Structure 1
Amino acid sequence: MTTKNPDAPPLDFITFYLQEMLCGIELSQVESIHKLGEITQPYQAADYVMGLINLRGRIVTVLDLHRKLGFAISASTQESHVIIVRDGEEIIGLLVDRIGDAITVPVDSWEQPSVNIGGNQQNHFRGVCKMKHELIAILDLDEVLKPEQHSSGMTL
């Protein structure tokens, strides 16, 4: 968010953790949340594609947000979940370490992501929210789901 509008309605988010970093996605972008189950490894997929799951008869690609955002790779645990989001006609799963809470965030509590965030990470976040004693990094889902250009010029 580039401008603060105190009259703008607050936004609802679902929060989740990547390692110890608290992140959020707008609730309107979330279709469902599921425990991580059996996953099939795809052949020759981008390194951030964790695999495929069968979700009520639909094949869903699951992205590992650790790899996609350039974080240290973390092993899946019993607390790992897949957040299902829609990208146009396709549904995509985002692997997260654990789910937080549903929260409402006043728009005036947002700030721009720090310019000190390195590499592509800054592009993947819309802003940072201050809530009580916590900072919540708000994911820019459009940027996260955007195909990456490989150094060979191929789109991944």
Structure 2
Amino acid sequence: MDTAISLKAGQYVVFSINKQLCALAIEEVVEIIRVQTITEVPGIKEYISGMINLRGKIIPVIHLRKRYHMEGEPFTKKNRIVIVEEDSEDIGLIVDEVVMVTYIEEQDLEPTLEMFNTLEKGCFKGFAKVKDELIGILNKNKVLYPDLEMGVAYNE
């Protein structure tokens, strides 16, 4: 059940998607790279931009703007690919900009309100209050596998 998703104090990589601040726990991030040539692959989900070759390793790349049904924009020097690992496979997430790496205290973390999960259940683990900003802590599994997560929920 989604209540098993835990929020904990620690370092988070904070990035923007369409001026919205989001974050992943630093242990979920393998590395952050500049956007490079992406080879399109026909017949895959529209939010998967294609594949990149990173030091001889083929990595699928998900465009987070498209993943969350936002309008895409041309890449700029600020765009980055955040590489995460799932089941021993690296996957890239295209973000508008990596803003900072910051330590978030436990008292600054709040669970997700039910109203924020109506569009896509489990999209966020919760929210963090840092300075005057509100940062959505993404549920990495839901970002990577939105269809699979729904199927798992029905089997519980």
- TM-score normalised by the chain length of structure 2: 0.84
**Off by >6 Å, runs of 4+ in structure 1:** none
Q: Which residue in the other structure is 1:153 paired with?
A: none
Q: As a proportion of its length, which structure holds more helix?
A: 2
The 2-side partners of 1:147 and 1:52 are apart by 19
The 2-side partners of 1:141 and 1:105 are apart by 18
Query: SS in structure 1 opposite 2:66?
Result: helix
Using the TM superposition, give the Cα deviation of residue 2 of structure 1 relative to its aligned residue in structure 2, in angstroms.
5.7
- When the two chains are superposed, the root-mean-square deviation of aligned CA atoms in Å is 2.3
Query: Structure 2 matches for 1:1-156, cutoff 5 A?
Result: 10-117=9-116, 118-120=118-120, 122-148=121-147
Query: SS in structure 2 opposite 1:123?
Result: coil
How many percent of aligned residue pairs carry the same amino acid?
Answer: 28
Letter paired with 2:32 = I
C-alpha change, 1:89 and 1:116, in structure 2 (3 Å) is: same
Query: SS in structure 2 opposite 1:126?
Result: strand
Letter paired with 1:62 = V
The 2-side partners of 1:46 and 1:65 are apart by 12
Query: SS in structure 2 opposite 1:116?
Result: helix
Unaligned runs of 5+ in 2: 149-156
The 1-side partners of 2:69 and 2:110 are apart by 22
The 1-side partners of 2:147 and 2:67 are apart by 10
Paired residues, number: 145
Using the TM superposition, give the Cα deviation of residue 9 of structure 1 relative to its aligned residue in structure 2, in angstroms.
6.5
Using the TM superposition, give the Cα deviation of residue 11 of structure 1 relative to its aligned residue in structure 2, in angstroms.
1.2
Using the TM superposition, give the Cα deviation of residue 115 of structure 1 relative to its aligned residue in structure 2, in angstroms.
3.4
Using the TM superposition, give the Cα deviation of residue 109 of structure 1 relative to its aligned residue in structure 2, in angstroms.
1.3
- TM-score normalised by the chain length of structure 1: 0.84
Letter paired with 1:96 = V
Give yes or no for contact 1:19–1:74 (8 Å, CA) kept in 2: no
The 2-side partners of 1:147 and 1:19 are apart by 20
Q: Deviations over 1:101-130 (max 9, x none)?
A: 11011122112223333511x521110111
Give yes or no for contact 1:124–1:139 (8 Å, CA) kept in 2: yes
The 1-side partners of 2:123 and 2:25 are apart by 14
Letter paired with 1:136 = I
Using the TM superposition, give the Cα deviation of residue 73 of structure 1 relative to its aligned residue in structure 2, in angstroms.
2.8
The 2-side partners of 1:114 and 1:75 are apart by 33
Using the TM superposition, give the Cα deviation of residue 68 of structure 1 relative to its aligned residue in structure 2, in angstroms.
1.4
